[in-house]
Amino acid sequence: MGAVVGKLLLSDQSARDKVKWLLISGAIALVLGYALDFTITPIIKRIATSSFTLASGGWCILALCLAYWWVDIKDHRKYLHFFVVVGMNSLFIYLFIEIVASRWFSGYIGAITSGLLEIIHLPHALIAIITSLVIFTLEWNLCNFLYKKKIFFKI
């Protein structure tokens, strides 16, 4: 789906036609995905059933359609630097989180924040939220560092 949508967005069609095709294809994928869920194959993410693939793909296409309309057609770009920083090194941050963060980075940060926040007797749920926000902030700042140094990882 991503390749087809990418080709559509790179095509010479008008922006209006692109939005129309994105809306139609997203809606069709949603209808087919949920129809399969109710009749043949349940939506199961873990094994990526056909109904899951169509339904989640439909939602993704509709979300992309909204972003395309809002950012590229309506030209609302003022507050998007946050997303640009991550998007310019999305491959790097994905691999970093999968390889480095999941093995030791998150554990170390969790030990530090838990140790410090347990001193003031915060509830464990709040400590988990704060730990997640600290990890997210550090990872975003890593992407921001790479962005400022103009270091971009590509395939």
Query: In this structure, which amino acid lies at residue 32?
Result: L
Burial of 102: CB neighbours in 10 Å, binned 0-12, 13-18, 19+:
exposed
pLDDT category of residue 79 using cuts at 50, 70 and 90: confident
Q: How far apart are CA 40 and CA 86, in angstroms?
A: 38
pLDDT tens for 11-42 read: 999 999 999 999 999 999 999 999 999 999 99
Structure confidence at residue 102 (pLDDT): 77
pLDDT tens for 88-147 read: 999 999 998 888 887 788 888 888 998 889 899 899 999 999 999 999 999 999 999 999
Structure confidence at residue 61 (pLDDT): 97
pLDDT category of residue 8 using cuts at 50, 70 and 90: very high
Those residues whose C-beta lies under 8 Å from the C-beta of residue 60, and which sit 6 or more positions away, are 1, 26
Q: How far apart are CA 32 and CA 153, in angstroms?
A: 36
pLDDT above 70 covers what percent of the chain?
100
Q: How far apart are CA 130 and CA 152, in angstroms?
A: 29
Q: How far apart are CA 144 and CA 24, in angstroms?
A: 36
Q: How far apart are CA 51 and CA 59, in angstroms?
A: 12
